[in-house]
Amino acid sequence: MVAAGTGAGAGRPAGDGGWGFDLPDRLPFALQVLLAALLAEFTSYWSHRLHHRLPSLWWLHALHHGSERLYWLNNFRIHPLNHAINYVLGFAPLLLIGTPPDVVLGYLALTYPVLMLQHANLPLRSGWLNYVFSTNEVHRWHHADNPKDGDRNFGRALVLWDMAFGTYRYRAEGNDPVAVGLYQPTSYPAKASFARQVWSMFLPGCCRAAF
């Protein structure tokens, strides 16, 4: 998979990805970015969904959900291990099949504006984009304080896989969860300092009764 007309990637023979598999390398650049996005979003979707299913992973992810108010700082309120797992599972597949840097950068350029606004406490109205991207209107459901509403919209920046696997939620009207925060009851120390929450993963008794 290589962008036609790019410098370093032009002329790269098909199938020279490090693991013997490559995405089509004669497609238009925009289509290559789309294929890379679908792959990265697929693995990111399942990483995120597993963080809501497995107690040990939920304990990592709970730091991100502990806030009872959504605002821009939620982008950075995340356990370092949670962040590392998400990025390894999200980007390793692209690297393993030899995705060119310009295609990866194209995917990042497409999705990072969405991620930076995803937790914004702003009355944004994204219209039809809510059916493509995980905008702040869509993502707020994921932070609801109950699993019925909160186990939704796992996509990193796109909602395609949520639609495919039945976890998409958005309402054109009445699109606000009653409250945001951790599912109750929980033993997670959400009121502790950031450092104590990070360290709690490594203490005896973590990960039990976390849901």
Asked if residue 77 has pLDDT above 50, the reply is: yes
> Residue 79 has what pLDDT?
92
Q: What is the mean pLDDT of residues 138-145?
A: 94
* Contact in structure between 187 and 209 (CB atoms under 8 Å): yes
| Domain parsing of the chain, residue ranges | 29-200
Neighbours of 9 (CB within 10 A): 20
Alpha helix positions (H), 52-175: 55-65, 80-96, 101-117, 136-139, 147-150, 160-165
Cα pseudo-dihedral 170, 181, 83, 187, rounded to 10: -140
Distance CA 176, CA 173 (A): 9
Round the average pLDDT of the chain to a whole number and report it.
85
> Residue 178 has what pLDDT?
85
* Contact in structure between 137 and 120 (CB atoms under 8 Å): no
* Contact in structure between 55 and 203 (CB atoms under 8 Å): no
In angstroms, how far is the first alpha carbon of the chain from the final one?
Answer: 42
Weakest-pLDDT range from 14-18, 115-119, 202-206? 14-18
User: Within 13 Å and on the Cβ side, how many CA atoms surround 189?
Assistant: 13
What does the pLDDT look like over 11-20, one tens digit per residue?
Answer: 344 444 443 4
